């Protein structure tokens, strides 16, 4: 199988986001499974600066696009069993940043056109071209365009992966010919047109042989207006070729046993090094050196869809818990102001670093106890998987890949690998943070088993690579890989790679109840929570607030968050369906796992046994309150 992977960024060459991590890891994983793989990227200034001396000049050619006739150089590098190609045009790519420039449309149209033009110069003629996001969305369109005249272009099958549907590449349709060299027919027949704009991603989705979203839940969510940024109709239309292959992480790069970036190595079997990492983190970021206080961490871009409004609403309530908070990231001014203010309010308990720093992020993954991702939407999310690998237990909202990678803790039967909440509500988030903090404080053994289960999850790329190969086999009509040992593994994951089931619009989504078991089974943990269930967070937060910065943030944001709620509430119904099938394995199934049928009452009993006698009755009352509150909000 010959695969050409087209991407606008890839680790270690150039990175602005998660796409780069995927593009850096998936192609080598495909090669490891026996595929022939080449990746093609623009030759940005930063690639030239850092890797220039390792690149081999292959050849050059000219690329015709509309009236432009531009030079294109081809450089290459062999690495990890993959050929990495770089397309050179200094006018377009010899710049300080990757994106965000006024001529991005022209730059990536050149890139896409050049990929097709340079096919003759690559080491093989691909059977599959796999594109990513809007920057390479024109490739399947150009292949169709050229395929009308030349059969050899028609022989290539195409896959497009959507990493975040928010970014679609929208342009005025009048520039279709001028900028993209496409006939007006592409807009007239609607292929590339959405809401009056030329929409490159839409065109790619319709033209590609397979469309992939980066998690099964995201693939389903994309059929709903709340998540789809106007593309829900297109996504529903293509559901027969829509897949949701979950991303992986580089398990070698992120390995607490060998990672030189962290202070002391550790493993699921021996966690003593993690204590040292925690003490080091507390020193580094100016948190009180308290070994028994759980550190809740966030490493995130500080933007709205990461769910930061929820934190703005209940920060004070969170800080009433015996916990510390560390935040690393940059982003919107209003969130930066808010977190700066929060750190001033809680010196020694809240620490905030408004930048992006790889070393500090690793210190956080290694040293923190809990990792918070309350995202409004999250196509896949990689940080929660990295955090788990380092024994930092995730607390997530059940959306996209977060839902597919985190199974809520059921302490009574030692199951689950994190904590989660369904509705986009600060009260619900607070509730699970409280569960997590008190599980850590009051039941250290249970928490440490939970930590070990999180660390044992298999997020390796090999699994995802097999699913991709299955898709490539499906669209090319090949039986891949039928005659090797890996083929059996691929066969077993065949169902994972099957198109996500056509999910009817939200209304049909029966499993509203399905979400319930997760909440119900979480009950024992709830019992460990303290008596006081705080009133709805929205009210709670502003009461104490004096700083203008904070007022500004929740005031603007609270309303949309509340308004958004109904849409989110309906979402989990559909989300619920694929999660079980595709969720990555929590390897460490406890030996004495009890049947799942065990009732909540029995469960409570077993937890209560573990609890200290004097706490028992008080906590039971609180749990009842908590669970009731939770159910109410779920309704
Ligand atoms: C985007 C998404 C993120 C995903 C990544 C890689 O950055 O926002 O959720 O993990 O792409 O697919």
What is the residue-wise DSSP string for 171-193? Answer: E-GGGHHHHH---THHHHTSTTE
From the list 518, 525, 517, 521, the residue with the least C-alpha distance to 607 is: 525
Q: Which of 130, 379, 385 to mutate to test the pocket of ligand 1 (most atoms within 8 A of CB)?
A: 379
pLDDT of residue 107: 98
Burial 252-262 (b: 16+ CB within 10 A, else e): ebbebeebeeb
- pLDDT one-digit tens code per residue, 121-154: 999 999 999 999 999 999 999 999 999 999 999 9
Confidence category of residue 411, pLDDT binned at 50, 70, 90: confident
Q: Which of 98, 380, 468 to mutate to test the pocket of ligand 1 (most atoms within 8 A of CB)?
A: 380
Q: Is 214 in the pocket of ligand 1 (CB under 6 A)?
A: yes
Give the nearest ligand 1 atom to 400 CA: 9
More confident residue, 524 or 156: 156
- CA 384 to ligand 1 centroid distance, Å: 12
Q: Give the single-character DSSP code of 534.
A: P
Q: Is 22 in the pocket of ligand 1 (CB under 6 A)?
A: yes
pTM, 2 dp: 0.78
Question: Which H helix or E strand runs over 628?
Answer: helix 613-634
Nearest CA to ligand 1 atom 12: 163
- CA 321 to ligand 1 centroid distance, Å: 31
Give the nearest ligand 1 atom to 161 CA: 12
- CA 381 to ligand 1 centroid distance, Å: 5
- CA 528 to ligand 1 centroid distance, Å: 34
Q: Distance between CA 549 and CA 553 in Å, rounded? A: 7
Give the three-state DSSP class for 63.
strand
Q: Distance between CA 541 and CA 554 in Å, rounded? A: 8
From the list 21, 14, 28, the residue with the least C-alpha distance to 381 is: 21
Q: How far is CA 514 from the centre of its chain?
A: 23
- CA 163 to ligand 1 centroid distance, Å: 5
210-214, 476-480, 630-634 — which is least confidently predicted? 630-634
Q: In what order do the strands lie in the sheet with 370-373?
A: 350-353, 324-328, 295-299, 370-373, 393-397, 419-421
Q: Is 306 in the pocket of ligand 1 (CB under 6 A)?
A: no
Q: Distance between CA 292 and CA 273 in Å, rounded? A: 15
Q: Is 17 in the pocket of ligand 1 (CB under 6 A)?
A: yes
Cβ–Cβ < 8 Å for 399, 429: no
Confidence category of residue 565, pLDDT binned at 50, 70, 90: very low
Q: Is 249 in the pocket of ligand 1 (CB under 6 A)?
A: no
Q: How far is CA 475 from the centre of its chain?
A: 26
Q: Is the pLDDT of residue 73 over 80?
A: yes
- CA 24 to ligand 1 centroid distance, Å: 13
Q: Which residues, 6+ apart, have CB-to-CB distance to 260 below 8 Å? A: none
Residue 62: is it exposed, middle or buried by C-beta count within 10 angstroms (0-12/13-18/19+)? exposed
Nearest CA to ligand 1 atom 5: 18
pLDDT of residue 515: 34
Give the nearest ligand 1 atom to 218 CA: 9
- CA 398 to ligand 1 centroid distance, Å: 15
Q: What are the start-end ranges of the H helices in 6-118?
A: 18-32, 45-51, 90-93, 104-117
Q: Which of 5, 10, 17, 385 to mutate to test the pocket of ligand 1 (most atoms within 8 A of CB)?
A: 17
- CA 327 to ligand 1 centroid distance, Å: 20
Give the three-state DSSP class for 370.
strand
Q: Which of 5, 10, 11, 18 to mutate to test the pocket of ligand 1 (most atoms within 8 A of CB)?
A: 18
Q: Distance between CA 307 and CA 426 in Å, rounded? A: 9
pLDDT of residue 439: 98
Q: Can you give the three-state secondary structure of 382-442, one letter per residue?
A: CHHHHHHHCCCEEEEECCHHHHHHCCECEHHHCECCEEEECCCCHHHHHHHHHHHHHHHHH
pLDDT of residue 479: 81
Q: Is 213 in the pocket of ligand 1 (CB under 6 A)?
A: no
Average pLDDT, the chain: 82
Confidence category of residue 494, pLDDT binned at 50, 70, 90: very low
Counting residues of the chain whose pLDDT is more than 90, the rounded percentage is 74
Q: Is the pLDDT of residue 496 over 50?
A: no
Q: What would the two tokens of residue 405 be? A: 């990678």
Q: What would the two tokens of residue 298 be? A: 């966030």
- CA 18 to ligand 1 centroid distance, Å: 5
Q: What would the two tokens of residue 333 be? A: 């001014």
Q: Is 245 in the pocket of ligand 1 (CB under 6 A)?
A: no
Q: Is the pLDDT of residue 557 over 60?
A: no
Q: Which residues, 6+ apart, have CB-to-CB distance to 327 below 8 Å? A: 297, 298, 300, 339, 350, 351, 352, 353
Give the three-state DSSP class for 135.
helix
């Amino acid at each position: 199988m010959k695969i050409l992977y087209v991407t606008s960024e890839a680790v270690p060459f150039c990175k602005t986001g998660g796409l780069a991590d995927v593009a850096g890891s998936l192609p080598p994983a495909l090669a490891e499974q026996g595929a022939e793989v080449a990746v093609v990227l623009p030759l940005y200034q930063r690639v030239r600066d850092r890797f220039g001396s390792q690149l081999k000049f292959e050849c050059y050619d000219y690329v015709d696009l509309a009236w432009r006739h531009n030079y294109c150089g081809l450089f290459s590098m062999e690495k990890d069993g993959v050929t990495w190609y770089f397309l050179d045009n200094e006018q377009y790519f010899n710049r300080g940043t990757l994106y965000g420039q006024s001529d991005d449309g022209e730059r990536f149209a050149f890139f896409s056109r050049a990929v097709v033009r340079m096919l003759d110069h690559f080491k093989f003629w691909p059977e599959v071209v796999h594109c990513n996001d809007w920057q390479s969305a024109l490739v399947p369109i150009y292949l169709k365009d050229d395929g009308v005249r030349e059969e050899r272009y028609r022989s290539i099958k195409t896959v497009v992966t959507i990493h975040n549907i928010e970014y679609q590449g929208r342009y005025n349709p009048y520039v279709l010919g001028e900028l993209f060299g496409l006939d007006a027919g592409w807009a007239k027949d609607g292929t590339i047109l959405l809401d009056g704009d030329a929409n490159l991603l839409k065109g790619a989705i319709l033209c590609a042989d397979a469309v992939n979203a980066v998690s099964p839940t995201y693939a389903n969510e994309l059929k709903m207006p709340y998540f789809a940024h106007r593309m829900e109709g297109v996504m529903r239309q293509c559901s027969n070729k829509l897949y949701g292959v979950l991303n992986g992480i580089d398990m070698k790069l992120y390995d607490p046993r060998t990672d030189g970036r962290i202070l002391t190595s550790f493993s699921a079997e021996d966690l003593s090094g993690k204590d040292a990492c925690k003490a080091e983190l507390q020193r580094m970021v100016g948190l009180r050196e308290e070994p028994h206080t759980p550190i809740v961490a966030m490493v995130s871009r500080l933007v709205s869809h990461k769910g930061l409004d929820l934190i703005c609403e209940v920060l004070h309530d969170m800080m009433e818990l015996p916990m510390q908070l560390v935040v690393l990231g940059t982003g919107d001014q209003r969130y930066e102001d808010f977190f700066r203010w929060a750190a001033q309010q809680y010196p020694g308990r809240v620490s905030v670093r408004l930048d992006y720093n790889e070393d500090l992020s690793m210190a956080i993954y290694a040293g923190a106890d809990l990792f918070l991702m309350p995202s409004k939407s999250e196509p896949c999310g990689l940080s929660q998987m990295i955090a788990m690998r380092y024994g930092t237990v995730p607390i997530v909202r059940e959306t996209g890949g977060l839902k597919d990678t985190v199974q809520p803790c059921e302490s009574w039967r030692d199951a689950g690998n994190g904590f989660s909440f369904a509705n986009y509500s600060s009260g619900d988030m607070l509730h699970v943070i409280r569960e997590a903090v008190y599980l850590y404080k009051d039941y250290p053994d249970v928490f440490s088993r939970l930590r070990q289960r999180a660390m044992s999850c298999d997020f390796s790329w090999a699994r995802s690579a097999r699913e991709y190969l299955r898709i490539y086999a499906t669209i090319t009509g090949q039986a891949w890989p039928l005659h090797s040992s890996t083929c059996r593994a691929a066969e077993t994951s065949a169902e994972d790679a099957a198109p996500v089931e056509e999910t009817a619009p939200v209304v049909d989504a029966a499993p509203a109840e399905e979400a319930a078991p997760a909440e119900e089974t979480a009950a024992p943990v709830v019992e460990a929570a303290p008596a006081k269930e705080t009133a709805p967070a929205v009210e709670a937060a502003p009461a104490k607030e004096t700083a203008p910065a904070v007022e500004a943030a929740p005031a603007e944001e609270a309303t949309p968050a509340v308004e958004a709620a109904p849409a989110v509430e309906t979402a989990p119904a559909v989300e619920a369906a694929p999660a079980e099938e595709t969720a990555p394995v929590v390897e460490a199934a406890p030996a004495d796992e009890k049947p799942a049928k065990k009732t909540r009452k029995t469960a409570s009993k077993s937890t209560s046994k573990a609890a200290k006698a004097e706490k028992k009755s008080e906590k039971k009352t609180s749990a009842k309150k908590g669970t009731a509150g939770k159910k109410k909000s779920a309704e």
